[in-house]
Amino acid sequence: MSKGILYDATLCIDCKMCERACAEKHGLAYDDAIAAEQKQSAHKLTVVLEQGDKYMRRLCMNCQDPTCASVCPVGAFRKTAEGPVTYDASRCIGCRYCMLACPFSVPKYEWDKALPLVRKCDMCAERVAKGQPTACAEICPTGATKFGDRDALIAEAQERIAKNPGQYVPHIYGLAEAGGTSVLLLSSVPFERFGYPTNVGTQPLPLLTYQVLSELPQVITFGAALLGGIWWITNRREAVAAAEGKYGDRGEKKWPGSN
């Protein structure tokens, strides 16, 4: 069964325990200076954003049909059956198409390294594969970040909104965005206030390019046959003209270089 994360911003107290647990899990440094950084980066895979008394986490949405997995020329990204979208660093050529294409602009780059890699939250894929929750969900003291079956989390999110309609924006972010994501968000303020795009639509983005790519085999076979045919006809015409030219003066003007 596909797993997911439900983050309920109304329960978050900005303790940043998730940031620390994530850094530890991924072998990244974490100190007060990094804790104060208010954006995702190659060394900070998740961040608790703060605006007054409102908080919001950013992390990889782990899409159901991930754009990164579709665009990567070497297939470095993979959607696992359990839900996480993983990244195989040994394949990566560093083209950054994933960064350009991701509708949530999640993948980040090691800009300061001579041989950089892409970094992103992978929803603790190894832990999830072993049946454990993600590091961020496990450590969360208030239950703001909750790990579980995606379907069950959706039901729970709907219930929370229904019970306290005044407390939430009536929208589960990630339920349908870009075809749905493993990470689901609840908030009392509009999501765009924390930089979540609201114009990504509900269609999985990989369809946009697949519609074109799936036509290519036909384009190749039809095109090659057409060009071959045109070549045959135009050359035949020339051969005929040349043969006629031998017996009369109907031959076309000679091309430079032909004898």
Partner 1 sequence: MARFKLTFWKVVLAVVLLAGAWATVLRFTRGLGASTHLSDAFPWGLWIGFDVLCGVMLAAGGFTLTATVHIFNLKKFKPIVRPTVLTAFLGYVLVVVALLYDLGRGYRIWHPLVMWNPRSVMFEVAWCVTLYTTVLALEFAPVVFERLRLEKLLRIQRAISIPLVIAGVMLSTLHQSSLGSLYLIVPSKLHPFWYTPLLPLLFFTSAICVGLAMTIFESSMSARHFGKQLEMPLLASLGRALLVGLIVYSVLRFQDLADRGAFRLVTRGGWETGLFLVEIVLGLILPIALLIFPRVRESSGGLYISSVLVVLGFVTNRMNVAITGMEASNGVQYFPKWTELAVTASIIGAGFAVFALAVKYLPIFEAEEGLPSRGEGKAPELAGLSHARL
- What's the longest Cα–Cα distance across the chain? 98
Spatial distance between the Cα atoms of 250 and 216, rounded to a whole number of angstroms:
43
User: Which residue lies nearer to partner 1 by CB, 6 or 69?
Assistant: 69
Burial bucket for residue 229 (CB in 10 Å: 0-12, 13-18, 19+): exposed
Q: Does 219 bind partner 1 (CB under 8 A)?
A: yes
Among 74, 162, 240, 243, binds partner 1 (CB under 8 A): 74
> Shortest distance, CB of residue 90 to partner 1, whole angstroms?
9
User: Which residue lies nearer to partner 1 by CB, 117 or 176?
Assistant: 117
User: Which residue lies nearer to partner 1 by CB, 132 or 198?
Assistant: 198
Of 81-140, which residues contact partner 1 (CB under 8 A)? Answer: 91-97, 99-101, 103, 105, 108-117
Among 2, 54, 156, 201, binds partner 1 (CB under 8 A): 201
User: Which residue lies nearer to partner 1 by CB, 75 or 141?
Assistant: 75
| Interface contacts to partner 1, rule CB under 8 A | 40-42, 67, 69-75, 91-97, 99-101, 103, 105, 108-117, 197, 199-201, 205-206, 208-210, 212-213, 216, 219-220, 223-224, 227-228, 230-231, 234-235, 237-238, 255-259
